[in-house]
């Protein structure tokens, strides 16, 4: 018998792992975090409001599990540089070498951001949560989310040397990245 909640959860496992990895920066700990999230999601599923996004609800559980974990162990997991982790094999053949290198370096720069900036980038730019949803995940006011996110993006653009010529506007596609 199929359980749509479980199916949705399985579909989101890659996103949960990505978020977990960006939060804890250790692959082993990330999978532990995802597992704890899955367990808590089932024991607390009655608390999920289907009118809201399941991924935002799960990210919140995962992040709280991470905070618990840090406080219990009083250590910051082993920090590995996940930028050095092997790339997924599927590289779009149309991408130039330069693009691949730039994305790799962008990933490294995102990983170098302070944790509070990294997580807002993840939630909003990557997972496409709204500011309000991200504020709910992080338990902070929307204003805090916005100031962190702006700082994170300015830092990222500086690190990447992005200096877009004004001619690119109003062509807002912005997907030359």
Partner 1 sequence: MSAVEFSDEDLMAYADGELADDRAEALDLALAGDAAPAQRLAQRLALFVDTRGLAAEALRPMLDEPVPDHLVQRVRDLAATAQPARTVVAFPARPAVRPLWHLPVAASVALAVGLGAGLMLRGPDAPGGPVSLAFLATDPETAQVLTTLASGNAATLTDGTRIVAVSTFRAADNALCREYEVTGATEAAFVSVACHDGQAWQMRLAVATSLRDDGAYVPAGSLETLDAYLVATAAGAPLAEDQEAAALAALSR
Within residues 88-147, the interface with partner 1 by CB under 8 A covers 88-91, 103-104, 106-107, 110, 121-122, 124-126, 128, 130-131, 139, 146-147
d(CA 134, CA 158): 24
Q: Residue 113: which residues within 8 A CB-CB, separation 6 or more?
A: 121, 152, 155, 156
User: Could you say whether residue 52 binds partner 1 (CB under 8 A)?
Assistant: no
Buried b (16+ CB within 10 A) or exposed e, 99-110: eeebeeebeebb
Q: How far is CA 2 from CA 11, 18, 34, 53, 108, in A?
A: 14, 26, 21, 20, 39
**Which listed residue (25, 53, 58, 60) binds partner 1 by CB under 8 A?**
60
Closest distance of CB 40 from partner 1, Å: 5
CB of 78 to partner 1, least distance (A): 18
Nearest distance in Å: CB 107, partner 1: 4
> Should residue 54 be labelled a site residue for partner 1 when binding is judged by CB under 8 A?
no
Candidate list 23, 24, 29, 38; residue touching partner 1; CB under 8 A: 38
In contact, 52 and 60? CB cutoff 8 Å: no
Smallest gap, in angstroms, from Cβ of residue 61 to partner 1? 8
Among 13, 54, 56, 80, which residue interacts with partner 1 (rule: CB under 8 A)? 13
Residue 62 near residue 33 (C-beta atoms within 8 A):
yes
Size of the site for partner 1 (CB under 8 A): 75
Q: Which residues contact 112 (CB under 8 A, 6 or more apart)?
A: 159
Instruction: Pick one of 17, 54, 56, 112: the residue that binds partner 1 (CB under 8 A).
Output: 17
């Amino acid at each position: 018998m199929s359980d749509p909640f479980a199916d949705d959860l399985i579909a989101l496992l890659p996103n949960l792992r990505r978020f977990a990895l960006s939060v804890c920066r250790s692959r082993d700990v990330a999978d532990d975090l995802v597992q704890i999230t899955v367990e808590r999601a089932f024991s607390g599923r009655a608390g999920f409001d289907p009118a809201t996004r399941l991924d935002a609800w799960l990210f919140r559980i995962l992040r709280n599990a991470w905070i618990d974990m840090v406080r219990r162990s009083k250590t910051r997991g082993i920090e590995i540089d996940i930028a050095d982790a092997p790339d997924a094999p599927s590289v779009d053949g149309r991408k130039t070498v330069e693009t691949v290198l730039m994305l790799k370096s962008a990933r490294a720069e995102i990983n170098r951001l302070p944790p509070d900036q990294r997580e807002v980038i993840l939630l909003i730019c990557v997972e496409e949560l709204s500011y309000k949803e991200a504020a709910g995940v992080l338990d902070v006011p929307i204003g805090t989310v916005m100031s962190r996110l702006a700082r994170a993006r300015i830092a990222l653009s500086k690190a990447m040397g992005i200096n877009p010529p004004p001619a690119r506007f109003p062509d807002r596609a912005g997907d030359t990245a």
